[in-house]
Structure 1
Amino acid sequence: MLAIVSITAPIFLLIGVGYFAVATRLIAKPQIQGLGAFVINFALPALIIRALIQRPVEETFNGYYLLGYGLASVIVFAAALTFALRIRRKPLDVASLYALGMSGANSGFVGYPVAALVVGSPAVIAMALNMVIENLLIIPLALALAEAGSQGGASFGAAMRQSVSRLSRNPIIIAILLGMAIAILDVSLPAPLFKAVDMLATAAAPTALFVIGGTLYGLRTRGMRKDVSQIAFGKLVVHPLAVLLVFLALPDFDPALAVAAVVFASAPMLSVYPIFGQRYGHPELCTAALMGTTLVSFITISAVIWIVTFFELFGFAG
């Protein structure tokens, strides 16, 4: 257990430092937003490009991983949507936010730093593939359904086209395409350019965790305990369990990537989750869910790592 704590403790200590910095006004909340923009637009894209150009393209583009993680995430998305619509009797826009919260992991800010400590370099490949799934499948689907729900169901197709159009300008997607192109063409970056990319990539993980901590300061969960607990349970328990079961069913899969997939799925939801909630009139629910899920994830992520390593699932002993 001490080995598990040694992996997760630095992650949450950095989150705590970010929280403390904003709580004590060493850094203002708008500055945290600026750091978040730096991570999303520069550091994470650089990290993805560095990972993609350092490996053969056939090793990076793993169809089984895309199938396994994508299938598990879609299953959780559909189950969460059905639960919110049929059991909780939520409107479609709220049900879509339920589904997004349970099936869309924070791969860049939380999942990658944890997975990198557990499995090492394969975590970067898993992160790039996860972001393909999240940005091209889960997020557009959720936003299109939410848009349809907020406008009486008449604009699903238009909302989906608008989501795809926005994603074409997403720095993460551009970085994935650029990195893949460089790898396929077998082009070597000039040394100064590669060094700049490397420096940006190195800043991604610690800055991302600091941003999460600063973002959490001031968030409140009062009055929404039932909704928050259900979304948190779906994200921290159901999603990693679904990913685990799907990857156990895949034959002869890379153990490190399989473990990385489960770890990524055990991360809290996307840090921009409250922004989506605000867009559809439910910022309090999404903000409270992000706060509660992130706090509980310290325990659940540690538990997931312990289960995977103690039982040597996928043959991975750590």
Structure 2
Amino acid sequence: MLQILFVTIPFFALIAAGYAAARTGALPLAAIPGLNAFVLYFALPCMLFRFGAAAPIAQLLDAGVALVWGASALIVVAATVVLARRQRIGWNDAAFGALVAAFPNTGFMGVPLLIAILGTQAASPMIITIAFDLVVTSSLCIALSRLAGADEHGAAKAARQALRGIVQNPMPWAIVLGGLASATRLALPAPVERTIAMLADAASPVALFAIGAVLARSALLAREHRASALVAAAMGSGSQPLRQARLADVLSVAAIKLLLHPLLVYGLARGAIALGLPLGQPALAAIVLVAALPSASNVAMLAERFGADNGRIARIILWTTVAAFFSFPLAARWMASRG
């Protein structure tokens, strides 16, 4: 257990450093989009390309990993939506609550963390989960969020926006190019390979620092919004106060993310193995630990873009990130005991 903590503590320490930098003003809030852009468009795609190019193409096309991960993601989405609808939460907020419950922070946090714990053999299963969540889980939840749209073209518009988001996201393209490089055994010129390596090496620290900064920005903006809404209400302007997600609702979604999701992946994987599906222990450990990661920070930006309760999503991301400091090492130790 101590060995796992020694590996995970520096990762969460970088998140805490980013949070502290943004909360104290050492990192201006205006600089956070630049950090995110560097990670999303430069460093992380280079990291994914390197892992994809180095992995055998058969590992990148592992149907067992895709089937188990896909089934678990769809079940988590369905369960979270049903729970939210029973609590009289609208379709838009219910759908993005489901996305934040099913979409782990694999790119910014999972890739460097799991490589440190499991080694490079964890890269291929993670690439498969990232591709599925970017293409299928995100698109499904965005489509569900439009079910309560006022106009009949809401779902079609959401589908176009989801497709545009997939096309504009560099991570799926990096995965595809890495797979092609693996299949063709492409050898890049030394200067190009070195440039990609330098950008990839920068992905982990900058991404983790950026997660903390994004969480701090969400907390600061929510506090400012609440204050301005209270002032406006006191002056009789008729403005509506900021919606406050109930703590029970936030904690229930966080529990689905950190407890139900990894247990569901583990159960489905064991069932699939019993039925004869070829799924090795390294891949099993990787996808269970991916499911045990906190929620992806970019879901808050998506929720804001589609008019959902961004404050609720930000609180869920914050809770899962803080709780994962304790829950993730336990999940890693639990999986190690079953190896």
1:14-36 deviation per Cα after TM superposition (whole angstroms, max 9, x unaligned)? 11121222233322122222111
**Residue in structure 1 matching 2:318, options 288, 291, 307:** 291
**Greater CA deviation, 146-155 or 97-106?**
146-155
* Partner in structure 1 of residue 294 of structure 2: 268
* Partner in structure 1 of residue 336 of structure 2: 309
Kept after mapping to 2: 8 A contact 1:101/1:270: yes
* Partner in structure 2 of residue 47 of structure 1: 47
* Partner in structure 2 of residue 57 of structure 1: 57
Deviation at 1:224, TM superposition (A): 3.0
**Greater CA deviation, 42-51 or 13-22?**
13-22
2-side partners of 1:284 and 1:80: how far apart?
A: 18
Aligned pairs, number: 311
Kept after mapping to 1: 8 A contact 2:294/2:321: yes
SS at match of 2:296: coil
2-side partners of 1:95 and 1:13: how far apart?
A: 32
Kept after mapping to 2: 8 A contact 1:277/1:285: no
* Partner in structure 1 of residue 30 of structure 2: 30
Q: How does 1:128-277 map to 2 (within 5 A)?
A: 128-151=127-150, 154-220=153-219, 224-251=246-273, 252-277=278-303
* Partner in structure 1 of residue 123 of structure 2: 124
| CA distance 1:54–1:94, shift in 2 (3 Å) | same
Structure 1: 5+ residue runs without aligned partners?
none
RMSD: 1.8
Kept after mapping to 2: 8 A contact 1:232/1:289: yes
1:226-284 deviation per Cα after TM superposition (whole angstroms, max 9, x unaligned)? 22101101111111111111111232422112111111111111111211222224111
2-side partners of 1:123 and 1:14: how far apart?
A: 22
Structure 2: 5+ residue runs without aligned partners?
223-243
Deviation at 1:153, TM superposition (A): 6.3
Deviation at 1:162, TM superposition (A): 3.0
Kept after mapping to 1: 8 A contact 2:57/2:182: yes
1:79-137 deviation per Cα after TM superposition (whole angstroms, max 9, x unaligned)? 1111212x212211111012111111111122222211221102322222111111110
* Partner in structure 2 of residue 13 of structure 1: 13
* Partner in structure 1 of residue 227 of structure 2: none
| CA distance 1:192–1:309, shift in 2 (3 Å) | same
Deviation at 1:300, TM superposition (A): 1.2
2-side partners of 1:286 and 1:150: how far apart?
A: 20
2-side partners of 1:33 and 1:155: how far apart?
A: 28
State the AA in 2 paired with 1:168: V
* Partner in structure 2 of residue 100 of structure 1: 99
SS at match of 1:189: coil
2-side partners of 1:45 and 1:154: how far apart?
A: 34
- What's the TM-score once normalised by structure 1's chain length? 0.92
2-side partners of 1:138 and 1:65: how far apart?
A: 15
| CA distance 1:81–1:34, shift in 2 (3 Å) | same
| CA distance 1:180–1:10, shift in 2 (3 Å) | same
Deviation at 1:39, TM superposition (A): 0.7
Deviation at 1:58, TM superposition (A): 1.6
> Does 2:318 match 1:300?
no
Kept after mapping to 1: 8 A contact 2:92/2:308: no
Deviation at 1:190, TM superposition (A): 0.9
Deviation at 1:157, TM superposition (A): 3.5
2-side partners of 1:94 and 1:227: how far apart?
A: 11
2-side partners of 1:295 and 1:150: how far apart?
A: 34
| CA distance 1:24–1:159, shift in 2 (3 Å) | closer
**Greater CA deviation, 177-186 or 65-74?**
177-186
Kept after mapping to 1: 8 A contact 2:303/2:313: yes
1:33-82 deviation per Cα after TM superposition (whole angstroms, max 9, x unaligned)? 21111111111110111111112212322111111111111111111111
Please say which structure displays the higher CA radius of gyration.
2
SS at match of 1:148: coil
- Identity of counterpart residues, as a percentage? 29
Kept after mapping to 1: 8 A contact 2:139/2:159: yes
Kept after mapping to 1: 8 A contact 2:72/2:264: yes
Kept after mapping to 2: 8 A contact 1:114/1:263: no
- What's the TM-score once normalised by structure 2's chain length? 0.86
| CA distance 1:218–1:249, shift in 2 (3 Å) | same
